Amino acid sequence: MKNIIIFGAPGSGKGTYSDEIVSRYNMGHISTGDVLRGEIKNGTELGKIADGYIQNGQLIPDELMINILAKTYDAMPAGKGVIFDGFPRTIAQAEALKQMLAERKHDMGVMIELVVDEETLLARLLNRAKEQGRADDNEETIKKRFAVYHNQTAPLAEWFEKEGMRNTFTWKGSKEQMLSEIFAFLDKQ
């Protein structure tokens, strides 16, 4: 399978659909949020830096994030394709990803954009707060994450459009329908 970039607001289902895609196509999966939460859990220097940004709903600085991404990508098994979940989130990260893959003679692949209304996003994240207790799943921080998404990340959709990579899937109330639309598209890649 080609590389896949899964893109969308907090709670849009990037992690959930990535898990389904990974098991159907046997790919690698890089969730930058999971990488950072792992560093925090292990009490590393990077984790200490990331913790403050995450708790406040802000993005980790680009330069730091780009280095982490490159290291994580190079540690993945070669040749299977990777799904990028939560990266890129800024134009600088997108340009860096493009360059990093070009240097390795790998293709950017396809981008999957998940579009979900904000009321549904908030309900999902508040529900996850009860089940998992993620540090950034409280209403105050969720609102900040939505604002960061609108201001810094959503404009990237146009960047992907220009690259001819943008494929949009809109939530209509059924996870099964969303998944079957995504699989129908990926089966043709």
Separation of alpha carbons 52 and 65, rounded Å: 15
Separation of alpha carbons 61 and 24, rounded Å: 33
For position 10 contacting ligand AP5 by CB under 6 A, the verdict is yes
Q: Among 4, 5, 22, 65, which residue interacts with ligand AP5 (rule: CB under 6 A)?
A: 65
Helix (H), strand (E), coil (C) string for 87-99: CCCCHHHHHHHHH
Q: How far is the CB of 103 from Mg ion (least distance, A)?
A: 27
Separation of alpha carbons 108 and 25, rounded Å: 17
User: Which part of the chain contacts ligand AP5 (CB under 6 A), choosing from 51-59, 73-81, 95-103, 161-169?
Assistant: 51-59
- How many residues of this chain bind Mg ion (CB under 5 A)? 2
Cβ neighbors of 81 (< 8 A, separation 6 or more) are 1, 2, 3, 4, 25, 27, 28, 109
- CA geometry: angle 67, 43, 152, nearest 5 deg: 45
Q: Among 3, 145, 160, 186, which residue interacts with ligand AP5 (rule: CB under 6 A)?
A: 145
Q: Among 1, 22, 36, 83, which residue interacts with ligand AP5 (rule: CB under 6 A)?
A: 36
For position 94 contacting ligand AP5 by CB under 6 A, the verdict is no
Nearer to ligand AP5, 79 or 133 (CB): 133
User: Which part of the chain contacts ligand AP5 (CB under 6 A), choosing from 22-30, 31-39, 75-83, 105-113?
Assistant: 31-39
For position 100 contacting ligand AP5 by CB under 6 A, the verdict is no
For position 5 contacting ligand AP5 by CB under 6 A, the verdict is no
For position 28 contacting ligand AP5 by CB under 6 A, the verdict is no
Q: Among 4, 54, 97, 186, which residue interacts with ligand AP5 (rule: CB under 6 A)?
A: 54
Nearest C-alpha neighbor of 189 from the set 172, 165, 171, 173: 165
CB atoms within 10 A of CB 51: 16
For position 96 contacting ligand AP5 by CB under 6 A, the verdict is no
| Residues 2-61 interacting with Mg ion (rule: CB under 5 A) | 14-15
DSSP 132-182: H--TT-SHHHHHHHHHHIIIIITTHHHHHHHTT-EEEEE--S-HHHHHHHH
For position 81 contacting ligand AP5 by CB under 6 A, the verdict is no
Residues in contact with Mg ion by CB under 5 A are 14-15
